[in-house]
Chain A
Amino acid sequence: MRLVLLDSPDEVRRNFYPLALSRPLWELRCGFSSLGEKLIAKVGAGDVAYFVPDYMADAYRTKVERPLRLRSGLAVNDSSVLDGDDLLIVDPRVKADSFNVAGRGPSEVGLDEQGDVLYARVAKADLAKLPTGDIGKFIAAAKAKLPNVRSALPTWQYIWDLVLANAEQITADFAAAGQSGVEGKVEQPNAIRGSKKDVYIAPGARVHPMVVIDAENGPVYIDQDAEIYPFSRVEGPCYIGKESVLFGAKCREGNSIGPACRVGGEVEESIVHGYSNKYHDGFLGHAYVGEWVNLGALTANSDLKNDYSTVSVMLDGRRAIDTGSTKVGSLIGDHVKTSIGTLLNTGSYVGAMALIMATGKPLPKFIPSFAWFLEGVVTKGFGKGKLYETAKMAMGRRGCRWSEAEQAMWDAVFEMTAPMRNEAVKKGRRVMLAR
């Protein structure tokens, strides 16, 4: 059986921007791992293929071919995988914990209430009925020709759903991992509160003296080669990813950090993707932060409104979406850089590659991708070329390479996000002219 992860249509993917601008939905993280890793583990698939939006196919292919990520039968946007084996095609919005469809069985197509395909199980014997050259046509034909069933599988709807579910997911992932105890190095004196069976410190991890690990309200998992500096307090549920470093951080409950992040200050109920830095003081709460982000000293986000009303977020810069939650922080895309003292409003959207120079006031709630926010307005700044140079430099410092495929993907993102950015630049020009 081959598992095929098929990314959602654009109109759905937009609900997961700015993170989904540069990755398929299954690369979003919650708890210890990505949504894709959870689905693969749940299905027990050894053979996995991927269909991503065309503009990111080459870049994604480059990423998944990194040696550590290699899986057998790996394929990206290769229609030949639609032949030769039983298939289980799954929409990555489906929550893995609830996914209860057997990999093998008679063909069936699971549809949600709107009639959208959540999964399609296609027995090898039925493949001859379907056009295998194009995934879009393949799914449409499967829906038309194979038995349909109404599926009530729960799905992720918006990017903030992952943040709000993170603490619970960490607890579930800790239980599933089935590991506890100290395999790394813990220097004394330090304190572990709660049950030691709710703490796991992986081989190669180092916990310096004067660290408090508080597992009283949830488990703490410190992954391989992570390092916790003195005066850090780590409250569970919490996952500190491989090679991440906490610098005297007040790491409150519900965080998933890393791999290879550097984090200080106060962080609460947030997800931080790999290679991002929040080295200094400043509060980050109920936030989702992408890769290669650098949050300058004293960057802080609000995650609760003064009147305790529910937080709204603008994913497109125009329409506010009520999250239904009183706690939502910032959604920060890949390669964002903020200056010292940046103040992010409740439910802020900071587009990928945006560069922020703080003014002392809270930022507008929507900053488009590739925006240079200078002197209180969105500008074209020094252009995307300078942002690419910065990205290359940041990646090079960590031994990673900026590829041509990656640049082509970002060029496409630049074009896709131009209307919102141009609108914000025009607004900024009006402000400049009025000064």
Chain B
Amino acid sequence: MATVEERVKAVTARVLKLDADEIKPEHSFTVDLGAESVQSVELVAMFEEEFGVEMDEDAALSVETVGKAVEYIAEVCKQQGVDVEQ
């Protein structure tokens, strides 16, 4: 199974139409990866679909970088009893 980070990068690449290999944990979704506000909503929706979790919109949309998204999603998966590869 792919790790949380790999899956977050894959989803980000698909939504933002980027190459997953070029996405780094320190990248900001908006500044470095060019996510518009509507794409941020789509990213949250696709993360929920990918991991089978429900995320609080305010908390999810306040996450700024790929690395922080990995941490946040791992925590949400833990809270909601979803097994993931770290």
Contacts and interface: CB of A to CB of B under 8 A. Distances in A.
A76 B20 CA distance: 59
Contact of A374 (B41, B49, B56, B58): B41
Contacts of A433: 46, 49
A357 B45 CA distance: 17
Contacts of A381: 41, 57
A393 B42 CA distance: 26
A367 to B, nearest CB: 16
Interface string A112-127: 0000000000000000
Interface string B39-64: 00110111001000000111001000
Contacts, number: 37
B38 A375 contact: yes
A432 B42 contact: yes
Interface residues of B: mostly helix, strand, loop or mixed?
Answer: helix
Given A379-B45, A432-B46, A433-B49, A357 B57 contact: no
Contacts of A382: 41, 57-58, 61
A144 B44 CA distance: 55
Interface residues of A, number: 16
A385 B46 contact: no
B61 A429 contact: no
Contacts of B42: 374-375, 379, 432
Interface in B29-84: 38, 41-42, 44-46, 49, 56-58, 61
Contacts of B57: 380-383, 385-386
A385 B59 CA distance: 11
Contacts of A357: 38
Contacts of A380: 41, 44-45, 57
Given A374-B41, A381-B41, 4 more contacts: A379-B42, A380-B57, A386-B57, A428-B45
Interface of B: 38, 41-42, 44-46, 49, 56-58, 61
Interface of A: 357, 372, 374-375, 379-383, 385-386, 425, 428-429, 432-433
